[in-house]
Structure 1
Amino acid sequence: MNPERAGDVVVVLAPRGPTDADDRLLLATAAAWVLGVAPPSVRIERSCPHCGGTDHGRPLVAVSPGAGSGAGPLHVSLSRAGRSAAFALTFLGPVGIDVESVAAVSRAGVDPALFDAVAFGPAELAALSAVPSSDAADARARMWTAKEAALKCTGDGLRVDPRDLTVGLPGREDPPDVVLTAWRGAGFPVEALRLRGFEPGAGLVGTVAVLSEDGFAAGGPTVSVVPAAAIRR
C-alpha cells in the first residue's frame, strides 16, 4: 500500500475526461497509486449486482496476479458533475461517492418543489422548509448527494426510492457532514453506513458513503482529498 496514502477514504479530484473510458483509466491509476503497484497491473471492471452484467454497474478493481499488492480488497466509486470528476477509494468496505452542482440541483425539473417531492420524505421536507433561503440550495444539494452516495455504496442506485432514506441536515463541520438517520427496508443497521462531506470545487458539493460491518474507529471514517496531479507523479 502506498505509504503516502492518508485517511480511511481517499478522494481524488480531477477534470472530467472526454469519455467514460478516460475516467475509468484515471480511476485505475488512482487505485494503483493507493495500492502501491504499477498502473499497468490494475484495471477497472464492472459488475451489476442485480443482473450480473459487466457493461454497467459498480466499478471493481482487478489487479494482475503477481503485482505485489498485499492489501485487502480496494473498493472504489466515481462521480461526475459538469467538468469535474471525483473518485473514492477505500479498504474499509463498499463505498459510494456523489458530486453535484448546487445550481443544477436547484434547477432540477421545471419546478424545484417537484424535485423535492420525489427526493425527500416528510421529515426532510420539514427540515428544509426551516432553512434560511440563503442556505437552502446548498443544504438541498448536500442532502441529495448523501442519498446518491449511499445508494451507490450499496449498489441499489435509484432502484430504491430515495424517500426510503432519511438524512439529516448538514452539520457544522468543515466540510459539513450529513447523517443517515433511517432507511426503510435496509438489510443492515443504519449506523454501519457513514456519510462524509468534502469540497470538490466552487459551486459543487460532494459526499462519500462507506459501509462497514466491522464498524468505524472513533471519529471515522476520515477522508483525504488529493488532486489528480498527486497520483500522476
Structure 2
Amino acid sequence: MSDKPKSGCGCGFWGCMFFLAVFVIMIGAIGFGLYVGYSQMMTVFSTSPMTVPTVQADETEFKDITQRIGEFRRGEVRELSLTADELNQVVEGFPGSKGKAHFEIKDNILYVTCSLPMDLFVKGTWADFLLSGKYLNGKAGLKFVKDGDLVTPEFVSLESDSGVKFDAGALKSLNGQNLGARMAAVPEIAPYINALDEIKIEDDTITFKLKPAAAAPDAEAK
C-alpha cells in the first residue's frame, strides 16, 4: 500500500477556504469600485507584491491540522476549530497559498492580510487587460452571520496597502451584495458553503460547524 497521502487529507477544504478568502476580497474590491467609481477602485491594486507576515513551518503541527481538516470534510466530526496560528501553519504548508495570506483573530474578528497576483485569477478573462501584472494587496476584517440558510461573510473593515480605507457607506454597500449566495454559486466552494451551519469566531479560534442533516462536503473521500 502506498504511503502517499490521499486527497482526503484536507487539501480540498483548505483550497476552498483560501479560495473563499480570495473570492470575498475580490468581491470587496469590485464592490468598492461600484460604490466609488473605477478610477478610485484601481488605487487598491499595486504593480508589486506586498510582504505578508509568515510563521515558522512545523511539519508535525501541519500534519495534525490537515488530519483534523480531513476528518471534518469527510463528516467524521461535525465541528472544526482552528486558531489563527493553525490557519497560518496551513498557509505555510500549501505552495498555492504560501506567502500570499496571513490570518489574525482579534476581538472576535478574523483579519486576512493578503498579496494576491491578479494573473492567477484574470488570465484569459475580460479583466486581463485591466489587472494583468497587478496585485491585490490589503487587509480585510471579517465576521460571519447567517443569511437565510447560508453562512455569509460580513466586512468589518477593508483597506489596501496604499492607504485606501473603505468607509462605513462602502462597507454597508458591500455587505448588501448577498455574498453568501454569490459564494454558493461558485462550483469550487459551493459544497462547503451549503454544508456549513455556522462559522463562529471566539477568542483566538474560528469554528466551522456542519448543518445537522447535511452530508459532509467530501463524504465520498472516506
Above 0.5 in TM-score? no
Normalising by the residue count of structure 2, what TM-score does the alignment of the two structures yield? 0.25
Normalising by the residue count of structure 1, what TM-score does the alignment of the two structures yield? 0.24
Bigger helix share:
2
